[in-house]
Amino acid sequence: MSLHAPRFCAAATLFVVQDVLKTVAHYRDVLGFDVGFTYGDPVFYGGVERDDVTIRFQAADKTQRRSGQGAVNVFVTEVDALHDELKSRGAMILQPPGDRP
């Protein structure tokens, strides 16, 4: 059991794109974002940041979403405690917390 209450820390918009590296470069070179990370070989996931804004990009061939669609990733502390809280409130849990690649 956690000693700390769960806390929502941040959120990042996720856009599905055809070419993650090209998109990251555009946001860096044209829109002035810093590259936060790129992931995979070949790269299929990446993120950029500017001030308090974080945007993530996922390759269209690595998701069921279509290019141009998106989502929001919400980052929290104490994820297991939050899972238990939301489950006790009747939330529909599609996939429980766990370590994933």
Model pLDDT for residues 59-94, shown as the tens digit of each residue: 999 888 877 777 777 778 888 998 998 889 888 888
Taking the C-alpha atoms of residue 2 and residue 14, their distance in angstroms, rounded to an integer, is: 29
- Is the pTM here over 0.75, yes or no? no
Model pLDDT for residues 50-61, shown as the tens digit of each residue: 888 899 999 999
Taking the C-alpha atoms of residue 101 and residue 98, their distance in angstroms, rounded to an integer, is: 10
Residue with tokens 């929502």: 8
Taking the C-alpha atoms of residue 79 and residue 98, their distance in angstroms, rounded to an integer, is: 9
